């Protein structure tokens, strides 16, 4: 029912996204999209590129007077740094004389496998699209999805729970307080003491020409029971959410609920017991399943975590091989971040918001928000008698 495509290179003229399947008559606030783009650019440990860009979204189609039309929504985010790369990244014309090709692939990047797969002799033909700059477009797409979810009372919060060896304490407070505390933190971590330690680790890595990874957690509240399905592997929502998170550059692992820690426990200490009350109806006494059972949302909060490896572009580069000479040499060095885990939390929010919005559209259909709302309300009413 919904899909999107993105296009654009890191230092090309712009990033473009086209969203198909949005219902008509959804009010879109573009300042909220720009807010999420700015959030993605922030965070302790970001590199010089973020000082150049000031991401803003421009709508090319699908919106009139602030409301969706039901037709494809086309979004554009300009790359200000293209002004410095016009000769090197010109979409048309001849390659400038004397422009050297990048031939030393960076370990951990798509450089070498991408060049071998597509037959490129200049690694820039790979790294420009493989760059995490593409996540700006996905963040914009997710920001649109968040506004659809908000119309149905669903909110998504992302925060950092680990950077390098430093882990935050589990959050025990209200979800609004969690969002505020994470937003106020330079590393998007709600645990102030852990945040200070994370900053020290990032500063140390910068001094050493190294990089750091970490873990982000995404929570979704207000999700109704019944999104996703158990009947086919590709309709299981936990699998779709895991795939969305794994598609973010540098993400190497995903957990739902208790995740890998549950493998060490007996079933009696893992599975969430079921209770019933007139106010909450069916509910779980715990939420180790992370809001998903059998590929279906169960009405509890969604809890997902994604592990991000350290960024592989290092200012003290690892060893590589020149693809032209086969000589053992240090890898190429590109401008990069020391730590992008805080930014990854924002991108992870967007990825989760998109998949939830897709599942919501599949469940409740409708060509307009009004029709979708009627189906949604009717479904919730039907649950009251169950």
* Whole-number pLDDT of residue 231: 96
* Whole-number pLDDT of residue 227: 98
Phi, psi angle pair for 22, to nearest 5°: -65, 140
CATH number at residue 205: 3.60.150.10
Q: What letters, b where the CB count within 10 A reaches 16 and e where it falls short, cover 112-144?
A: bebbeeeebebbbbbbbbbbbbbbbbbbbbbbb
Check: CB of residue 8 under 8 Å from CB of residue 134: yes
Check: CB of residue 3 under 8 Å from CB of residue 21: yes
Coil, strand or helix: which one is 241? helix
Q: How far is CA 155 from CA 59, 147, 209, 344, in A?
A: 24, 9, 38, 18
Number of domains making up the chain: 1
Handedness of CA 354, 355, 356, 362 (dihedral sign): positive
d(CA 297, CA 240): 12
d(CA 69, CA 65): 10
When pLDDT is cut at 50, 70 and 90, the band that residue 175 belongs to is confident
Phi, psi angle pair for 327, to nearest 5°: -80, 140
* Whole-number pLDDT of residue 262: 96
Beta bridge mates, 2: none
Confidence check: pLDDT of 138 > 70: yes
* Whole-number pLDDT of residue 50: 58
Q: What is the mean pLDDT of residues 225-235?
A: 96
Q: How far apart are the first and last CA of the chain?
A: 28
Give 80-129 pLDDT, tens digit per residue: 989 899 999 999 999 999 999 999 999 999 999 999 999 999 999 999 99
In 177-331, which ranges are E strands? 214-221, 251-256, 274-277, 281-284, 292-293, 296-297, 302-308, 319-321, 328-330
The reported pTM is: 0.95
Q: Which residue range forms the structural domain that includes residue 80? A: 3-383
When pLDDT is cut at 50, 70 and 90, the band that residue 35 belongs to is very high
* Whole-number pLDDT of residue 316: 87
* Whole-number pLDDT of residue 51: 60
Confidence check: pLDDT of 25 > 90: yes
When pLDDT is cut at 50, 70 and 90, the band that residue 330 belongs to is very high
Give 47-91 pLDDT, tens digit per residue: 665 566 789 999 999 999 999 999 999 999 999 989 899 999 999
* Whole-number pLDDT of residue 174: 84
Beta bridge mates, 76: 16, 58
Phi, psi angle pair for 124, to nearest 5°: -65, -25
Confidence check: pLDDT of 10 > 70: yes
The H-assigned helical ranges of the chain are: 30-41, 49-52, 111-118, 124-130, 135-150, 175-184, 192-207, 237-246, 341-364, 369-383
Give 181-221 pLDDT, tens digit per residue: 999 999 999 999 999 999 999 999 999 989 999 999 999 99
349 CB-near residues (< 8 Å, 6+ apart):
36, 142, 146, 156, 157, 158, 218
Residue 367, burial from CB neighbour count under 10 angstroms (0-12, 13-18, 19+): exposed
What is the full DSSP assignment across 17-62? EEEE-PPBT-B--HHHHHHHHHHHH-STT--THHHH----EEEEES
* Whole-number pLDDT of residue 18: 98
Handedness of CA 344, 346, 348, 351 (dihedral sign): negative
Least confident interval from 114-118, 278-282, 344-348: 278-282
Q: What is the mean pLDDT of residues 4-18?
A: 96
* Whole-number pLDDT of residue 260: 95
Least confident interval from 51-55, 89-93, 263-267, 367-371: 51-55
d(CA 25, CA 359): 19
Check: CB of residue 286 under 8 Å from CB of residue 298: no
């Amino acid at each position: 029912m919904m899909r999107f495509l993105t296009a654009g290179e890191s230092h090309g003229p712009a990033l473009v996204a086209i969203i198909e399947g949005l219902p008509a008559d959804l009010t879109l606030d573009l300042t909220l999209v720009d807010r999420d783009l700015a959030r993605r650019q922030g965070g302790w440990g970001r590199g010089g590129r973020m000082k150049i860009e000031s991401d803003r979204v421009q709508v090319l189609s699908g919106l009139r007077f602030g409301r969706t039309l039901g037709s494809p929504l086309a979004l554009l985010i300009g790359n200000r740094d293209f002004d410095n790369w016009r000769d090197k990244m010109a979409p048309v014309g001849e390659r400038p004389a004397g422009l050297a090709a990048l031939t030393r692939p960076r370990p951990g990047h798509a450089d070498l496998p991408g060049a071998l797969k597509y037959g490129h002799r200049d690694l820039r033909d790979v790294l420009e699209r493989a760059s995490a700059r593409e996540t700006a477009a996905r963040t914009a797409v997710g920001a649109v999805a968040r506004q659809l979810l908000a119309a149905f009372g669903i909110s998504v919060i992302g925060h950092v729970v680990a950077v390098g060896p430093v882990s935050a304490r589990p959050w025990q407070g209200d979800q609004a307080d969690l969002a505020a505390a994470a937003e106020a933190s330079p590393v998007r971590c709600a645990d102030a003491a852990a945040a200070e330690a994370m900053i020290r680790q990032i500063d140390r890595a910068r001094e050493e020409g190294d990089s750091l990874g970490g873990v982000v957690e995404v929570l979704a509240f207000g999700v109704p029971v019944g999104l996703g399905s158990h009947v086919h592997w590709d309709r299981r929502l936990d699998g779709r959410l895991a795939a969305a998170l794994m598609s973010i550059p540098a993400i190497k692992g995903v957990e739902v609920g208790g995740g890998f820690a549950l493998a060490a426990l007996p079933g009696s200490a893992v599975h969430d017991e079921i209770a019933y009350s007139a106010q909450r109806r069916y509910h779980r006494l715990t939420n180790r399943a992370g809001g998903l059972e059998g590929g279906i949302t169960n009405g509890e909060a969604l809890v997902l975590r994604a592990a991000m490896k350290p960024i592989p572009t290092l200012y003290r580069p690892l060893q590589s091989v020149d693809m032209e000479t086969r000589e053992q040499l240090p890898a190429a060095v590109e401008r990069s971040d020391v730590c992008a885990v805080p930014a990854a939390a924002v991108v992870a929010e967007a990825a989760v918001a998109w998949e939830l919005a897709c599942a919501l559209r599949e469940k409740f259909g409708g060509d307009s928000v009004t029709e979708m709302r009627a189906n949604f309300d009717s479904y919730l009413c039907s649950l009251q008698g169950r």
